[in-house]
Amino acid sequence: MKKTYFILTLLFVLVLNACITNNKKANNNDSLAIEKPYLGQKPPGLIPIPFAPGLVSTEIYEYDGAFTPDMKAFYFIRRGEENKTSAFYEYKYNETNGIWEKSEVASPWIGRPVISPDGEIMHLGDRYLKRTEAGWSKLHNLEPPTVSNDSMYIMRLSSSANGTYYFDTYKENDSAFPIRYSRLINGKYEEPKALPKEINTGTFLSHPFIAPDESYLLFDAEREDGFGESDIHISFKQKDGTWGNGINLGDKINTNAWEASASITPDGKYLFFSRNVGSDAYENVDIFWVDAKIIETLRPNQ
């Protein structure tokens, strides 16, 4: 009897220790394990505020912020003060001292960063970087059929968890370029297709961001019912697989100025976007953030 009791007690202790160990591992991968997440900034509510004033958002031009899935690195673009050349920056969380450390990744900038849901690819428009043991790889170019050989190029590309690409197709002196998608089929990307009119209505359709599960698409466009210049919109995937009409994110997000390049943090908590807060010359653009609950207030009842 005593032997049986001892064995049961030992098994209980082993199981308990395993659970504690697994919980610790899970917590280490969670953004809340970082002592000062989001560069140590106080999170916003339902009113957008500039992200990390003085660190990221300054008196010049910053745009396209992106966190890695583990929330321990943040990338953004800043236009230089003197020669106006844009540079690509990283803030990386140092787990030893608990400090976010800034470094310049590339100058001039190499593209608008959107990181794949698995963290293995940093998309940079029609180029990309791969994750390696030593860090990010050299710069690679997308290959046909995703990109073409004419004057069209991709400003921003976002991928879903299953690898489907969503991207704009900017063409010089053409304000009616559509947003397209390309599925990964048997290891190869299909010929890109334009999304339906529910999304591709208006002009300057740009900077798409697809939810990892493809349940919604964020994009910006100029439309007749907008607030001024480019506004951020969202389209939700319907139960039948079609896309719903693009919905303007409203006057809390959009103003009579330029708003663009929206995305959701990998933990799903915050919406990031860029806004022109300066003159019409875009001398001062800041990266803003807001509670992502604003998306749920727009989701249609199905």
- Rounded mean pLDDT, 85-108: 92
pLDDT tier at 227 (50, 70, 90 boundaries)?
very high
Residue 13: the pLDDT is: 38
Residue 275 has pLDDT above 90, yes or no: yes
Q: Each residue of 62-77: pLDDT tens digit?
A: 999 999 999 999 999 9
Cα–Cα distance between 296 and 46 in angstroms, integer?
12
Residue 280 has pLDDT above 80, yes or no: no
Reduced to 3 states (helix: H, G, I; strand: E, B; else coil), residue 281 is: coil
Residue 134 has pLDDT above 60, yes or no: yes
Residue 118 has pLDDT above 70, yes or no: yes
- Residue 3: DSSP 8-state: H
Interacting residues of 135 by C-beta distance below 8 A, sequence separation 6+: none
- Rounded mean pLDDT, 240-244: 96
Residue 109: the pLDDT is: 85
Written as one string, the DSSP assignment of 233-261 is EEEEBPTTSPBPPPEE--TTT--SS-EEE
- Rounded mean pLDDT, 234-251: 96
Amino acid making up residue 151: S
Tell me which fold the domain 36-296 belongs to. Neuraminidase (2.120.10)
- Rounded mean pLDDT, 194-219: 96
Residue 33: the pLDDT is: 64
pLDDT tier at 81 (50, 70, 90 boundaries)?
low
The CA-based angle 257-287-247, given to 5 degrees, is 55
Extents of the domains making up the chain: 1-33, 36-296
Q: Each residue of 22-40: pLDDT tens digit?
A: 443 333 344 446 889 999 9
Phi and psi at residue 162, in whole multiples of 5°? -90, 5
Residue 257 has pLDDT above 90, yes or no: yes
Q: Distances from the Cα of 160 to the Cαs of 112, 210, 276, 286, in angstroms?
A: 17, 6, 28, 26
Token pair for 202 = 């208006």
